[in-house]
Amino acid sequence: MSATRIGIVGCGGRMGQTLVQTVLDTEGATLGGGTEHHESPLIGQPLKNPATGDILDLIISDDAEALFKSCDAVIDFTCPTATVLHADYAAKYGTAHVIGTTGLEKQDEATLQKAARQTPIVYAPNMSMGVNLLFYLTQQVAHILDEDFDIEIVEMHHKHKVDAPSGTALGLGRAAAAGRGVKLDDVADKVRDGITGARKRGDIGFATLRGGNVVGDHTVIFAADNERIELTHKAGDRAIFARGAVRAALWAAGQKAGLYSMFDVLGLPQA
């Protein structure tokens, strides 16, 4: 069988470079190309092996549509505006689209659902295999414990992260809400400031921390009187997200059209 051609949009950034390296290091995958924003100084430059500096036979371009046309799968850790546009390209050419972009609004997700009628799309707030296991465990624990256990989600990321709470934290909130049979929008408490009054029973709280170069720490706390359960995942390197994304790309390239999650990729039971 021929190797799966995987393209990387946003290939010049920290995550993009990690994805490039992971594709190069993964058996059964071959790098199909990379793109950057049209104002990037990298446009027209050759792609290089991030580990060795060796020049690859690929040129960085700003033509994302051409990348989708020429690849079997494209990995996308960009921004909501770009991701929505990329989903249209994926649908047009039947290219598998693996999306790790966070901060998408409901209307953006509706666009992904529409595109997924034409091509396989894997969309997840976090591509790490460990974090997706945390999603699963959070849902199960929330289902077992009643509202005597307050749920709080604490996340910390590097000082450059622009969205809050993180997409992963919101994913954990959705998992906890699903376990309790409620909608997160109805029970989420994302901001506390001043005299807030007592905590509302059944709410799912969020706390956001930013600082330094923290890749990503997430803890789900189930707190009742006199006892507390904590589920924690700490990311030490972006490579864990890249490994999951490349695994998802290899998996998605052989699937029929549809909107999938990392639960599908990993074979975990669905909510």
Q: Maximum CA pair distance of the chain?
A: 63
pLDDT of residue 184: 97
The CATH 3.40.50.720 domain(s) of the chain lie at 4-123+238-266
Condensed to tens digits (0 to 9), the pLDDT of residues 10-27 reads: 999 999 999 999 999 999
Backbone angles phi, psi at 215, to 5 degrees: -70, -45
pLDDT at position 2 is 86
| Topology adopted by domain 129-235 | Dihydrodipicolinate Reductase; domain 2 (3.30.360)
pLDDT value of position 243 = 96
What's the predicted TM-score (pTM) here? 0.84
Write the CA distances from 250 to 28, 50, 160, 208, integer angstroms. 8, 21, 30, 33
How far is it, in rounded angstroms, from Cα 42 to Cα 46?
8
CATH number of 4-123+238-266: 3.40.50.720
Residue 125's pLDDT is 81
Q: What is the pLDDT of residue 102?
A: 85
pLDDT at 210: 98
Q: What pLDDT does residue 238 have?
A: 87
Order of strands, edge to edge, in the sheet holding 216-224? 188-189, 204-210, 150-157, 216-224, 227-235
Residue ranges of the chain assigned to CATH 3.30.360.10: 129-235
Residues known to be catalytic: 157, 161
Nearest Cα to Cα of residue 108 among 82, 132, 90, 89: 82
> In the chain, which stretches have pLDDT less than 50?
none
> 267 exposed, middle or buried (CB, 10 Å; 0-12, 13-18, 19+)?
exposed
pLDDT score for 135: 95
